[in-house]
Amino acid sequence: MRYLVRASRLFLLIVFFYITFVQTGFAAAGPQPVIGVVLMPPAVHLYGHVALINCYAPANSFYAVIDLRDTPGKSIVIRSAEQRLQSLLETALATGNLVSFVGQGVFVQSPPRGGTWNMEVYQIDEVTVYNKK
């Protein structure tokens, strides 16, 4: 009878350690890091007047300097490769009309032709030209 009690205790001890060490592998894993996915900053909607447009043919892109209306005295740079957006900004530059755009802030180390910018840069995907100055 003693051997049976000892054997059952030993069996229960083995089962306890087995459950403790093995079952933890089946527990829900915590969040895993995502690799290869770039999170984009939130989109912004800004208003202003176009002060300058500069096009770069090799990169098929253009850059425009916008004087913001909401924060006077502050200028930003927007960039895109879409021809339609460029023509809307050229219209706004020629007429002096108010323009709004939607885009995301990007980090650009230097302009395509070198030098430095001390302005924020936004990659845009929407432009609206208003009929007021």
Please, what sign has the CA dihedral across residues 52, 57, 62, 63?
negative
pLDDT for the residue 2: 76
SS3 of residue 30 by DSSP: coil
Q: For the segment 27-54, what is each residue's pLDDT rounded down to a tens digit?
A: 555 666 667 766 667 888 989 999 888 7
pLDDT for the residue 38: 65
Ranges of each domain in the chain: 43-130
SS3 of residue 15 by DSSP: helix
SS3 of residue 21 by DSSP: helix
CATH topology of domain 43-130: OB fold (Dihydrolipoamide Acetyltransferase, E2P) (2.40.50)
Q: For the segment 55-66, what is each residue's pLDDT rounded down to a tens digit?
A: 776 567 788 889
Give pTM, 2 decimals. 0.64
